[in-house]
């Protein structure tokens, strides 16, 4: 969802009646749950593959250089 889509979504929510607002709210919460699940899955895969430790080391090295 780009910035223009977000603005349109918020405007639709502001202008909507009770049922429309409830639908938009439900949709937003559904998207939140979807993305939280995706993020959790990505974190698990990164941890299992050791990618998280590699990224942490890269960040530490970068901080030392700065």
State the residue range of the domain holding 25.
3-65
The 3 state secondary structure assigned to the chain is CCHHHHHHHHHHHHHCCHHHHHHHHHHHHHHHHHHHHHHHHHHHHHHHHCHHHHHHHHHHHHHHHC
Number of domains in the chain: 1
pLDDT for the residue 2: 93
pLDDT, mean over the chain: 92
What confidence tens digit (pLDDT) does each residue in 24-49 have?
Answer: 999 999 999 999 999 999 999 988 99
């Amino acid at each position: 969802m780009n910035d223009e889509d977000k603005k349109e979504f918020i405007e639709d929510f502001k202008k909507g009646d009770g049922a429309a607002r409830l639908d938009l709210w439900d949709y937003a919460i559904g998207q939140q749950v979807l993305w939280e699940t995706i993020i959790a899955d990505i974190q698990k895969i990164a941890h299992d593959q050791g990618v998280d430790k590699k990224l942490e080391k890269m960040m530490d090295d970068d901080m030392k250089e700065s």
